[in-house]
Amino acid sequence: MRCKLVATAIAVALSAASVTAHAATGDTTIGGKMYFDVTHIDQKNSDTGKTDKTGTGTDVKRFYLSVSHQFDDVWSANLTTDFNYVSNDGETNLFVKKAYVQGKFSDAAVLRIGSADMPWIPFVENMYGFRYVENTITDRLHFANSADWGIHLGGKVGQRGMFSYEAAVVNGGGYKHPGRSKSVDFEGRVAIMPIDGLVIAAGGYSGKRGQDTQTMGAQNTASRGDLMVAYASKRFRIGGEYFNAKNWNNVMTPTTDKADGYSLWASVGISDGVTAFARYDNAKLSKDLDSAKKDTYYNAGVEFQVTKGFKLAAVYKHEKGNYTAATPLPIHVANTKTDEIGVWGEVKF
């Protein structure tokens, strides 16, 4: 089955390339983006020792293949597939990440119907600048979706697009799970750019995460609040993101829970095509049910712009996850530590 999925992805790519080559008007285009790495992982659990994730391998974390068509000055359509292979689970997967029709009525009103980017994660990724090295904190810890099925509206107003907004009414299960439920979810974001490069943004989410069905009623409503302050220029990036979530993983249970966390990042160009960067994340993942459940993460590295559309980065990552363990007795706080070193890359065309 997985081989068929890979074959399908290749067929889509060849078909799209053919369309582009024969489109006399240039209205249909193809694009792609790949995130890959060659690394060594050393993972240890405080109770059981080294885990099966320890080892050396190559991963294609993401390969996005997109086909876009412009019908006229207002209407267009996009299809983006999402392929990934992770060596420690030995599986390949292929999904439709984005599939939408778009109406751009003005810079202030852009409508998308279908599966499209959500308001928060892609916006933060753009300011962070190193998505191919690591997901942003809400994505990495699974407290948000990067894309979902529904109706999306966004735009920019003011000089230089000083004010921007985006709102989405979605199914809530994420782009991998286009199901139906008794209600829809909402995510929104507003942002201001007071000076060139400086962005202050706030956002939020509320809903049942696609789990409130006719036969299985939801017990709680998941919600999340977001804040970001960041600056980005050609040479410098510095910023921070904060989130606070309630009942994100407790929609279907009578118990309630809270989580919060923050992420800080910075990068500086040290010469033409060479950038040094670092990041630190800290999160409390279950403040009510398991106060010991915490995550600490950091990375540091150097990025090299090999050529246009091709980046490589030498990176070291560390993550420590604490949690309450019932075995072996007595109940105690255990942890899993992960150290990873290697080369990460991005190819974009």
**Segment 218-233, tens digit of pLDDT:** 999 999 999 999 999 9
Enclosing domain of residue 229: 27-257
Quick one: pLDDT at residue 76? Answer: 97
- pLDDT tens for 28-40 read 999 999 999 999 9
d(CA 186, CA 69): 28
d(CA 110, CA 74): 9
d(CA 146, CA 35): 16
d(CA 52, CA 347): 29
Q: Is 223 among the domain residues?
A: yes
d(CA 55, CA 100): 40
Q: Tell me the CATH number at 203.
A: 2.40.160.10
Q: Is 349 among the domain residues?
A: no
d(CA 252, CA 92): 30
Q: Which two tokens stand for residue 88?
A: 């420690």
Quick one: pLDDT at residue 91? Answer: 66
Q: What angle do CA 9, 125, 313 make, to 5 degrees?
A: 75
The tokens 């009942």 sit on which residue? 247
Q: Is 317 among the domain residues?
A: no
Quick one: pLDDT at residue 1? Answer: 39
d(CA 267, CA 295): 23
Q: Is 238 among the domain residues?
A: yes
Q: What are phi and psi of 263, to 5 degrees?
A: -140, 135
> In the chain, which stretches have pLDDT less than 50?
1-25
335 in Cβ contact with 318 (< 8 Å): no
Q: Is 72 among the domain residues?
A: yes
Q: Is 290 among the domain residues?
A: no
| CB-based burial, 155-177: b 16+ in 10 Å, e otherwise | bbeeeeeeebbbebbbbbbbbee
Q: Is 335 among the domain residues?
A: no
pTM: 0.90
Quick one: pLDDT at residue 142? Answer: 97
Question: Bridge partners of 254?
Answer: none
Q: Is 4 among the domain residues?
A: no
Say how many domains are in the chain: 1
